[in-house]
Chains A and B, each alone.
Chain A
Amino acid sequence: MSDERLRALWQVLLPGSSLFAVAIVGLLLGSYWQYVIAIALGAAVVGGALAMLVGYARCITLATGAMLAIGAYGAALPVVHLGAPFLAALIFATILGALAGLTLAIPGVRFRSHNLAMVTFVFQAVVIIVLRESKALTGGAEGIHVPPPVIFGFSFSSDAHFLLLCGILFALAMLPIAILLAGPFGKNLRAIAANENAARAFGIDVRRYLIAAFTWSSAVIAFAGAVDAPRFRIIDPDSYGLITSIFTLTYPIIGGMGSIWGGLIGGGILRLFPELLRPLADYIELVLCVLVVATLTFFPDGLASAVLMLRRRGPHKPLAEGAARRDSRITKAAPLSSATLQPNEAANRAGENPVLAIERVSRSYGALRAVDGVSLAVERGALHGLMGPNGAGKTTLFNLVSGFASPESGRVMLGGTLLDDIPIERRITLGITRTFQHAAVFQRLSCLDNVVIGLGRNTVTDGTRRSLAAALDADSSRAEREAGYAALEAVGLAQRAPDAAGALSLGDQRRLEIARAIVSRPRIVLLDEPVSGVSAEEANRLHALLLSINRELGIAMLVIEHNIGFLVSLCQSISVMSEGKIIAEGVGPAMVDDPRVRRVYFGEHETTG
């Protein structure tokens, strides 16, 4: 037990400790190397911070230079003008960086990709203009002299002392990033990057997460800027310009997108280039550009990841963990009810009936009445089918229930709670989850991580707290993993727990989606075409699986499916939609023979056949 606890702790301490170790090694070298290593460590921290924003959340930011400048000036100005102590100025600068990140992100995260890049670019340009124009305060374009840091009367003016200081401070700075990225916070960011809709359906508030990512990474970048500034002796706005922003972006890209190490190693090594390759200084930028484009083309996960991948060919840890579990409880779907699935308080007070009541709901897109006055009730613990030809409005109805669209009229009740004003992200806590028509697993996350996200409790606060718990390997985080394994076992995927979800077959991805949807023990699951695109045998197995989940956990299901045989044999009651309306409702086999249904499917008239 304590072994695992140490491992969890070590995982989040290692990035910072390695920085510290490099600093210690640097102390053995000459003063030029100490200078170079101090600079490289600063870049490694920037790379680590960008791993969160660029690598995990896949946001393009062109404001890194501005954040470095805010840190550098934020720490230097209080020291120069007010004689503030260095540590106080450092803390001030870090807070300033966090606030700057927040200010940039609140309007910024409304956008993605190119518009986000442009908003950060504007922020970058404005910060530099302000620094250049406020001559009285910042010395304008000529810059300002920054004295060496003084802490408790000791001046860190020599290269060796400064390097030591960098080692300590940067190791500390890396800690929060490492904790967040290793835990649920980082996984939720990657879930957002993989599929925003699926992330939202499981309680991840995309905008708040991105704002948090911007704030954390900006704070750490500003911290690095503040620590590094005294080493440059004179800081001026142009050293923190757009070019700096663009080239810091190379750290996580070339280093590797999927882990904090990519950013750290990328930053540490790439920042050395201009120092070590002085004779080629003119060509550095061009070389970096070629490197980035080549990396994106040939190693989309980055060079560090490519190297790590080679190393990981050996037996690796999570797999071994999975294998151990396989031995300890070789059971099929049986342990579901006894498993340590997270108790859902909503499920406990599920006395109300029906569990889901859709009342005269309508929604149009332009002139098209996609859903037109639909009423539908799903009894507690029932299996309810929804069929109808393409374009009948089935998926729109799902979107209205799960919150991806809002009804223009009518209302949706979940066991007595009105859903209308409840955002998508909170609906999972009320006991409603869904799967998607196109299997929407988080491709790069492991199957276990996918299912753990399905537990909900993914608000930014919860994600942060759970990341801390994971770093300390607290009982709560172990319980989450147990629940995740239990759900994976229930769907027959326990052995794939450590594998990337994207590596599964389509049928297995459907299973994983089901595991993710039931792990929180919702009151009702919306299944959007659970067997589309899978083989007949796989459809039969999924049929048995859904039945057993329904029986053992009492989870109600509303199922859309074009495979009518599957739907009729699975569901006790079936509603048939056509052109936005429910045209027939009843028990399965009767529905197939219903003339109204035959008409919408086959165009048959009552007189024929």
Chain B
Amino acid sequence: MLAEFVMNVIGGLKIGAIYSLAALGIVVIYKATRIVNFAHGAFVLAGAYATYGVVEALGAGYWPAYVLVPLATGLLAAVVEFAILRPIRRADIFALITSTIFIGIGLSEFYRLIQNTEMLGVPNPVSGRPIFLGDVIITKEQIWVFAGALLSALIGVVIFGYAPLGRGLRAVAANPRGAVLCGYSIDSMNAMAWFLGGALAGLAGVFAAPSQGVSPELAISMITAGFVAAVIGGFDSLRGALFGGFILGVAQTLAAAYISSAMANAVSFLLLFAVLMWRPEGLFPEAKIRDV
């Protein structure tokens, strides 16, 4: 019983790590540009598809994918920002959010048109005997996803939170005019934020591809999970997004194991609803600063 429970938690942490990556990208883009990117699920899909391309179609293996895929999805996101969102940056929030919804659907549709199969499979990057710890069985794939996604997420946190680039991003977000006076360019900072967010989405795609497969469903499930994880974390907090992803992943896996598989989605909706209703600032809010 206990072993089963522990294995479920480990499975949940694996999924949760992917959710964390997806949520992190959403939060990075939101923090820097105040746009909630509903196209993020499609970016993850693009990442998973690119992984398929590198690993399966080119047969190049996984190592190039870790570098090429985030570059590609980062560029895709930056192009979306540059070509579509920048011209309407002065529009109201309604127009911006609706745009990202339809950009996401459009990308998924585009994928469906060029790749008319049901679902593309991507092989596991690691294989071999699982690890036994008493009754607990841990697969190498779980370790790979958990460690890899967590590492990627931490790199993202470090870049945004501590590197000079991150300082510029946060400055532009906090006070655009002030940041411009200090020599930052809003345009390039916005593009960088989208690149960073897109790259994180791409990495989420790399780690999601083997276990979830590549299909338009992936886009929907990833935007939902990423959004819910971001809300749990407070939407404004990188740390919160990380924890939110893990909480969501574990909760979903436990619900699926102990209640019914249909409950996995219901749990994420319940979590979203509960957090929005009772703690809209999230479980891990950043320090509050009053808007003057």
Residues of A within 8 A of B (CB): 58, 60, 107, 110-115, 117-119, 121-122, 125-126, 129, 133, 242-243, 246, 249-250, 253, 282-283, 285-286, 288-290, 292-293, 296-297, 300, 365-366
Contact = CB atoms under 8 A, between A and B. Distances in A.
A290 B98 CA distance: 12
B98 A125 contact: no
Interface stretch (B69-77, B88-96, B139-147, B155-163): B88-96
Q: Is the interface of A mostly helix, strand, loop or mixed?
A: helix
B277 A107 contact: yes
A58 B94 contact: yes
Interface string B30-58: 00000010100000000000000000000
B266 A296 contact: no
Contact of A113 (B93, B99, B106): B93
B265 A286 contact: no
A300 B98 CA distance: 12
A60 B94 contact: yes
B68 interface: no
Q: 9 tightest A-B contacts by CB?
A: A289-B106, A114-B36, A286-B109, A292-B102, A289-B102, A122-B269, A285-B109, A58-B94, A113-B93
A121 B97 CA distance: 14
B26 to A, nearest CB: 10
A249 B231 contact: no
A60 B269 contact: no
Contact of A285 (B87, B92, B105, B277): B105
B31 to A, nearest CB: 14
B265 A129 contact: yes
B113 A114 contact: no
A297 B84 contact: yes
12 contacts: A111-B280, A115-B280, A121-B224, A122-B273, A126-B269, A129-B265, A242-B220, A246-B101, A293-B102, A297-B84, A300-B95, A366-B290
Instruction: Determine which residue in B93, B227, B269 has the highest number of CB atoms from chain A within 10 A of its CB, and name it.
Output: B269
B150 interface: no
Interface of B: 36, 38, 84, 87-88, 91-95, 97-99, 101-103, 105-106, 109-110, 113, 220, 224, 227, 231, 262, 265-266, 269, 272-273, 276-277, 280, 290
Name B's interface SS. helix
B98 A296 contact: yes
B91 A296 contact: yes
A47 to B, nearest CB: 15
Nearest to B106: A289
Contacts of A110: 276-277, 280
Nearest to A246: B105
Contacts of B92: 58
B95 A115 contact: no
Contacts of B290: 365-366
Given A246-B101, A246-B105, A289-B106, A297 B87 contact: yes
A148 B227 CA distance: 42
A129 B268 CA distance: 14
Contacts of A246: 101-102, 105
B28 to A, nearest CB: 15
Contacts of A286: 106, 109-110, 113
Nearest to B277: A107
A246 B38 CA distance: 12
Contacts of B99: 292-293, 296
Contacts of A126: 266, 269
Contacts of B110: 286
B98 A253 contact: yes
A246 B216 CA distance: 15
A289 B98 CA distance: 10
Given A118-B272, A293-B99, 19 more contacts: A113-B36, A113-B94, A114-B38, A114-B97, A114-B227, A118-B227, A122-B269, A122-B272, A122-B273, A125-B269, A129-B265, A249-B98, A283-B113, A286-B109, A289-B106, A289-B109, A292-B102, A297-B87, A365-B290
Given A129-B265, A286-B113, A115 B276 contact: yes
Contact of B97 (A60, A285, A290): A60
Given A249-B98, A282-B113, A300-B95, A293 B103 contact: yes
Nearest to B228: A118
B281 to A, nearest CB: 12
A107 B276 CA distance: 9
Contacts of B266: 126, 129
A133 B261 CA distance: 13
A60 B95 CA distance: 10
Contacts of B276: 107, 110-111, 115, 118-119
Nearest to A292: B102
B98 A118 contact: no
A517 B109 CA distance: 51
Contacts of B224: 121
Contacts of A133: 262
Contacts of B97: 60, 113-114, 117
